[in-house]
């Protein structure tokens, strides 16, 4: 578990630096998920054919695509809450994308709490895990 904590605290921030503003394609998101899954497979000495989702689940982590979406939602919330007009304008420019991301996780209100966002993203990931 110490390896998982080191990976989460040192490698993940480097891998996802600035992801809140990336224009990421589906293939790029897939490649990032493959990288992240392979990290967990390597730590737990699993075969590449095995799904890494149960490993992520039991280590209380999610896929990279879920992490990116969560960061985007929370980043936009911070922009909207800012007292600076320019930051609020930037938040309003990406409203359609934000609504699309929020709808994937069942988040309907724009000003939901941070804990609610994290809970909704975790629930969506939890439903995708096939270890139950």
DSSP string, 37-71: HHHHHHHTT--TTS-SHHHHHHTT---HHHHHHHH
pLDDT reported for residue 131: 56
pLDDT reported for residue 119: 92
pLDDT reported for residue 96: 79
Number of neighbours of residue 99 by Cβ within 10 angstroms: 12
Q: Check: CB of residue 75 under 8 Å from CB of residue 16.
A: no
Angle at 93 between CA 89 and CA 98, to 5 degrees: 120
pTM: 0.84
- What are the domain boundaries of the chain? 2-128
> Mean pLDDT of successive 10-residue segments in the chain (132 residues)?
90 92 90 93 88 89 93 88 82 79 83 88 87 52
pLDDT reported for residue 31: 94
Exposed, middle or buried by CB within 10 Å (0-12, 13-18, 19+), for 118?
A: middle
């Amino acid at each position: 578990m110490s390896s998982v904590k080191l990976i989460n605290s040192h490698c993940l921030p480097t891998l996802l630096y600035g992801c809140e503003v990336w224009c990421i394609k589906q293939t790029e998101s897939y490649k990032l998920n493959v990288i992240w899954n392979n990290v967990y497979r390597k730590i737990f000495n699993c075969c590449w054919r095995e799904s890494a989702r149960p490993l992520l689940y039991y280590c209380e982590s999610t896929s990279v695509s879920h992490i990116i979406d969560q960061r985007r939602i929370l980043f936009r919330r911070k922009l909207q809450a800012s007292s600076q007009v320019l930051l609020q304008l930037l938040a309003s420019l990406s409203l359609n994308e934000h609504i699309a991301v929020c709808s994937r996780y069942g988040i309907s209100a724009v000003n939901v709490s941070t804990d609610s966002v994290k809970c909704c993203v975790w629930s969506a990931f939890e439903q995708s895990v096939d270890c139950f």
